[in-house]
Structure 1
Amino acid sequence: MILEPLGLPFSQVAELIGVLRRRSETVATAESLTAGLVSAALTEVPGSSAVVRGGLVVYATDLKERLAGVDPQLLAEHGAVHPDVAAQLAVGASRRCGADWGVGLTGVAGPDPQDGVAPGTVHLGFSGPQDSQVRSVVLDGDRHAVRAAAVRVALEHFAGMLR
């Protein structure tokens, strides 16, 4: 239901879930601009409950600190849309949900800039047992297109990290 409007092939998400199952690893998310869409996409796959621990929707800046543990000084100095915030969201998701992997997303879907950051700016954080990464992208399109593309990029990058 959620995958088709996001432009995600079911087989791609099912493969990612399968890799996690074979590795006996789990994942959790902390999402801002996507407001739970990554978690929703992962749980479209039957049997995903074996690997998806949960997710935090941290749309409001103060919830990034309170729920995901993002450093309040980082938020005060750089705002909510910053690569280090994405990294800390990933770590927070993993720790707060007791998962092997954390995926964190922050960005500006638009239509207006946020704290001087242009619409389409997205930062993705990934925290795992032996590898942590941050990826920053600028995505084109309206609000829906940016959010859908952020989900696709996050899941594609995460799948690549698992390979």
Structure 2
Amino acid sequence: MSDFIESAKNLVNSAVSRTGWEAQKQMRVRGKQGEIDKLLEQRQKLLDDLALTAMNLYQQGALTDSRLSRLCASVLELDHDVKTREGQLQDIKNEAYSPDQYGSVQTPDYTPPPVNPTPSANAGTSQQAGASAGAQSLCPNCGQPIRANALYCRNCGAKLR
């Protein structure tokens, strides 16, 4: 009987020892992960500073690397798109419900808008020759396709408007 108690005691001691070791291991893992997270935060702050510096140089016309210029032009284009959509969102939020707008009265002369709007008058002929999946005009600087309403060329960074 004393052998059984001794064996049970050893088993419990072993389990407690193993549990303590696992807990210490988890604490070390979490500590090391915390150190890594702090280093990654510092890295992200440096990358943000680098991006801000590159954008400032680009806007001043002092950025000489063409790859960085293309990235900066894309960022500015996306910023413009975001502002446009934020304005559209605000317009939607400001809409007021009018019970009359959903009435059963229908206007007989209503025609839906065209599916593919016609290109603007100042668009080049290359826009009309574009692919059927959305006509695109070409950058006057590098000749690469550009998106409709783009402010900057994503390829060369040239200002389009």
- TM-score tier by shorter-chain length is under 0.3
Normalised by the length of structure 1, the TM-score is: 0.21
| Higher normalized helix content (fraction of residues) | 2
| Higher normalized strand content (fraction of residues) | 1
| Bigger radius of gyration among the two | 2
Normalised by the length of structure 2, the TM-score is: 0.21
